[in-house]
């Protein structure tokens, strides 16, 4: 998937509890790479943080074949803080040239049948 909030939202909509989703995106990867000081907000630890908003509504999430699965919750990133400084909000960049969508995905995104 192209971003972390969308990936985490998919797990929420599969029935995983929010604390478990966050744990699997923070603490567990840090443990897996042997860096337990990461993935935590302990005093004295690194202060890099992504702040998400949990939104409720009707959303579509897509798999690699662009099959839609409906969900009613999604996470959106509101702020990212690195080294104690909030990063500026930047406009979304276009996909990298090597990330061109296959024809069947592009047709679905522009509203044509596959």
Range of the domain at 13: 4-87+95-109
Task: Tell me whether residue 12 is in a domain.
Answer: yes
CATH code: domain of residue 58: 2.30.40
114 within domain boundaries? no
Q: In what order do the strands lie in the sheet with 68-82?
A: 49-62, 68-82, 85-86
87-106 tens-digit pLDDT: 998 887 776 667 677 777 77
- C-alpha 59 chain-centroid distance: 14
Number of domains within the chain: 1
Residue 99 covered by a domain? yes
* Per-residue confidence (pLDDT) for residue 95, from 0 to 100: 64
Lowest mean pLDDT among 19-23, 58-62, 74-78, 100-104: 100-104
Which carries the bigger pLDDT value, residue 78 or residue 91?
78
């Amino acid at each position: 998937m192209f971003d972390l909030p969308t990936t985490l939202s998919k797990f929420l909509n599969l029935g995983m509890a929010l604390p478990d989703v966050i744990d699997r995106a923070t603490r567990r990867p840090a443990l897996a790479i042997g860096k337990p000081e990461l993935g935590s907000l302990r005093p004295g630890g690194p202060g890099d943080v992504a702040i998400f908003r949990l939104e409720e509504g009707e959303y579509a999430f897509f798999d690699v074949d662009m099959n839609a699965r409906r969900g009613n919750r999604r996470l959106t990133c509101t702020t990212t803080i690195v080294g104690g400084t909030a990063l500026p909000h930047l406009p979304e960049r276009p996909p990298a040239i090597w990330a061109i969508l296959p024809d069947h995905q592009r047709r679905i995104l522009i509203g044509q049948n596959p």
